[in-house]
Chains A and B, each alone.
Chain A
Amino acid sequence: RKEVEQDPGPFNVPEGATVAFNCTYSNSASQSFFWYRQDCRKEPKLLMSVYSSGNEDGRFTAQLNRASQYISLLIRDSKLSDSATYLCVVNIPNTDKLIFGTGTRLQVFP
């Protein structure tokens, strides 16, 4: 089983749609979780951290399910500018290292 697994997509959605991505991780001792956004030919940028209680930032909601070892990202009212690849990121316990998923590509069309 991969350490961090994501559906590669692409997810093609119209503007205004709600879209959800899931990610599973293999190490039950992981404590830190993040979603990053990567635009084509650019560096990944931190979108949001994921907390146990779930957290929201504007149109974006992240949730963590420790029992099932998955993380989700919900994007409401999609904009054309949301088109990007979304990376699920999980820490390796007792190290400084993070494991990056291969990403889920989102394409929002007019």
Chain B
Amino acid sequence: DGGITQSPKYLFRKEGQNVTLSCEQNLNHDAMYWYRQDPGQGLRLIYYSQIVNDFQKGDIAEGYSVSREKKESFPLTVTSAQKNPTAFYLCASSYPRGSYGYTFGSGTRLTVV
């Protein structure tokens, strides 16, 4: 079955540490996205990529980095420069123009310890 997989489900980060969240899809979607959701809040776009080897900053890119070396994969690194990284991170993918909506992964819950 086609889908989008995020790992790990839970992640704990120490202060000053970089961590990488994995996102893989086998839906043959060109576009991929990373969102952050804080408790009781809406989704905020971190980065998105429309094609391989290309990506753009979203609304809250500071302290994050991404790569898109393969169509199927769009990993997100939360760097030590992100001062408040505790949140629920959601990866999504779509066909061009998002015409059929986005498919989301099940998310990674990141906590700073």
Which A residues lie at the B interface, using CB under 8 A? 32, 34, 36, 41-46, 49, 87, 89, 91, 95-98, 100-103
Interface centre among B33, B100, B102 (most CB of A within 10 A): B102
The answer on a CB contact under 8 Å between B48 and A43 is no
Among B48, B50, B101, B103, the residue within 8 A (CB) of A49 is B101
Q: CB of B84 within 8 A of chain A? A: no
15 contacts between A and B (CB under 8 A): A32-B101, A42-B107, A43-B105, A44-B90, A46-B101, A46-B102, A46-B103, A49-B100, A91-B98, A96-B97, A97-B33, A98-B98, A100-B42, A102-B42, A103-B42
Contact residues, B76-90 vs A (CB, 8 A): 88, 90
Q: CB of B53 within 8 A of chain A? A: no
10 closest A-B pairs by beta carbon, nearest first, are A102-B42, A43-B104, A96-B31, A100-B43, A46-B101, A34-B101, A98-B98, A43-B107, A96-B98, A43-B106
The answer on a CB contact under 8 Å between A98 and B42 is no
